[in-house]
Amino acid sequence: MTRVLITGANRGIGLALARQYSAGGAEVIACCRNPSTANALNELVASSGGQVRVIELDVADDASIASLKRAIGDLPIDVLINNAGINGTPKAQSAERIDVDGWMTTMRINALAPVLIAQALRDNLLRGSQKKLVAISSDYASTGTNYGSSRERYAYRASKAALNNGMRGLARDWAEDGILVGILYPGWVRTDMGGERASASPKSISAEHSALCLTRRIAELAPASSGAFLDYNGETLDW
């Protein structure tokens, strides 16, 4: 049985991925910061027949990452999906004003935590049959893309670009161990992160559709595509 660990699995894309994988027969370790209030995730656990279990994880806390490692021990992990993230708002992150604490928190959660989690669970990945490390990124990570009037997300853009760079480094440095790294943009998804504009736009997609496409991209992940920056349809994105 495939075993998948997902961070930020209590809502949005993370919850949709947990549903998608468990429906396909995989065992899912669903991580979130506050399991007691994760009602939708707990409903999935209750209906999964033991395929889904929840482990508390605050990705911004080193002690919590260490606790996650202790909780799973030497358990093999086939697919590790770093999905948890924040958008850097509501405090100012623009050309006119930067909230320093908010910037550092955004970088800690979006860019550093996925690398620390990957390092903590590296041995578990090596014991897995697929050895796939995945980061859910953003098209805002693309330095070469012009976003026109979108001015409010300096910290978020920087954090996702740093995430991509870190994952690219792991793809290179862990290749000899057989670890494959996927860097994936999930699309403009109708979630809390996507905001009101995503909810109202015909160009946005549902979390369920995004998760379905992402699982396909993860299944296709191979040495030739390890470390590439791809969207949910498999198209290469500009760095």
Q: What is the pTM of this model?
A: 0.94
Query: How do residues 46-93 score in pLDDT, each as one tens digit?
Result: 999 999 999 999 999 999 999 999 999 999 999 999 999 998 876 788
Query: How do residues 20-31 score in pLDDT, each as one tens digit?
Result: 999 999 999 999
Dump the DSSP string for the chain: --EEEESSTTSHHHHHHHHHHHHTT-EEEEEES-GGG-HHHHHHHHHTTTSEEEEE--TT-HHHHHHHHHHHTT---SEEEE-------SS-BSSS-B-HHHHHHHHIIIIIHHHHHHHHTHHHHHHSSS-EEEEE--GGG-TT---TT--S-HHHHHHHHHHHHHHHHHHHHTGGGT-EEEEEE--SBSSTTTHHHHHH-TT-B-HHHHHHHHHHHHHH--TTTTT-EEETTSPBPP-
Domains of the chain (ranges; CATH) run: 3-230 (3.40.50.720)
Query: How do residues 154-185 score in pLDDT, each as one tens digit?
Result: 999 999 999 999 999 999 999 999 999 999 99
